[in-house]
């Protein structure tokens, strides 16, 4: 049963750390993913503010984050207060059981950023390799297969089976005129499909944090 009780706006009490993040900088290139993120914990209030500020410049200030609940701590706040150079603002968080494993989507007024989220306890060499692959425009591997490669220690095929959902959406609560908060948890209402990426483009990778 979905918990519809209102949850308070989360605020991080710890100092904000620089996110361990790799981004594909060419916003004009059609890509499967925009990069990879390796958080230091699975506490959304502690980890998401630094990430949000780091990607604000891609498509303007982030207003909503969509992510799956698996692996994150049980708090699952629906709103998160973020303090940045321009002042404080509240970001909406949407938790969806239908999100592909490891996918986080940040929505802004003029675009979106899709990231592979790597478990904090991943060994450093594997985590950095996964971030690097996710940030390449030529990457053809979806987030579930990238995570599987971390645990198996080997690369996965660039094309995933039809049973694995893609990383870009065709329709979503936001595209349908509904906020991520309004969709609720656990509803199978979104397909996360990104248009096919171009082939043969190799991009310089932007690194944020260490």
Listed by start position, the domains of the chain span 21-193
pLDDT, tens digit (0-9, with 9 covering 90-100), for 85-123: 888 999 999 999 999 999 999 999 889 999 999 999 999
Q: What is the pLDDT of residue 91?
A: 96
Tell how far CA 172 is from the center of its chain.
Answer: 15
- What is the predicted pLDDT for the residue at 1? 42
Contact of 122 with 209, CB cutoff 8 Å: no
**Which of the 8 DSSP states describes residue 19?**
P
pLDDT of residue 51 exceeding 90, the answer is: yes
Of 59, 76, 91, 92, whose CA–CA distance to 3 is shortest?
76
pTM: 0.74
3-class state of residue 27 by DSSP? coil
In the three-class reduction of DSSP (H, G, I as helix; E, B as strand; rest coil), residue 117 is classed as: strand
Q: What integer pLDDT is reported at residue 121 of this predicted model?
A: 96
Report the pLDDT value the prediction gives residue 194, as an integer from 0 to 100.
56
- Kindly provide the b/e burial profile for residues 4-13, where b requires at least 16 CB atoms within 10 angstroms of the residue's own CB: eeeeeebebe
Confidence of residue 164 (pLDDT cuts 50, 70, 90): very low
Query: Which range in 67-76, 120-129, 176-185 is most confidently predicted, on average pLDDT?
Result: 120-129
Contacts for 130 with CB less than 8 Å, ≥ 6 apart: 36, 116, 118, 122, 146, 147, 149, 150
d(CA 54, CA 38): 13
pLDDT (tens digit, 9 = 90+) per residue, 124-157? Answer: 999 999 999 999 989 999 999 999 999 776 554 4
pLDDT of residue 159: 38
Residue 23 φ/ψ, nearest 5 degrees: -125, 140
3-state secondary structure of 170: coil
């Amino acid at each position: 049963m979905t918990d519809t009780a209102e949850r308070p706006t989360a605020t991080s009490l710890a100092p904000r750390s620089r996110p361990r993040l790799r981004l594909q900088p060419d916003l004009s290139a059609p890509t499967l993913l925009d990069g990879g993120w390796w958080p230091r914990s699975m506490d959304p209030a502690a980890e998401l503010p630094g990430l949000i500020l780091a990607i604000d410049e891609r498509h303007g200030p982030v207003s909503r984050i969509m992510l799956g609940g698996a692996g994150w701590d049980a708090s699952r706040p629906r709103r998160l207060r973020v303090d940045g150079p321009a002042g404080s603002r509240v970001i909406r968080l949407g938790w969806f059981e239908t999100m592909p494993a490891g996918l986080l989507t940040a929505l802004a007024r003029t675009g979106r950023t899709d990231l592979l989220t790597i478990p904090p306890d991943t060994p450093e060499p594997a985590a950095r390799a996964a971030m690097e692959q996710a940030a390449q425009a030529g990457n053809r591997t979806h987030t579930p297969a990238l995570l599987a490669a971390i645990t198996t220690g080997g690369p996965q095929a660039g094309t995933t089976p039809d049973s694995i959902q893609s990383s870009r959406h065709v329709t979503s609560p936001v595209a349908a005129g509904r906020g991520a908060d309004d969709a609720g948890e656990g509803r199978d209402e979104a397909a996360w499909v990104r248009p096919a990426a171009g082939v043969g483009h190799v991009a310089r990778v932007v690194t944020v944090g260490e």
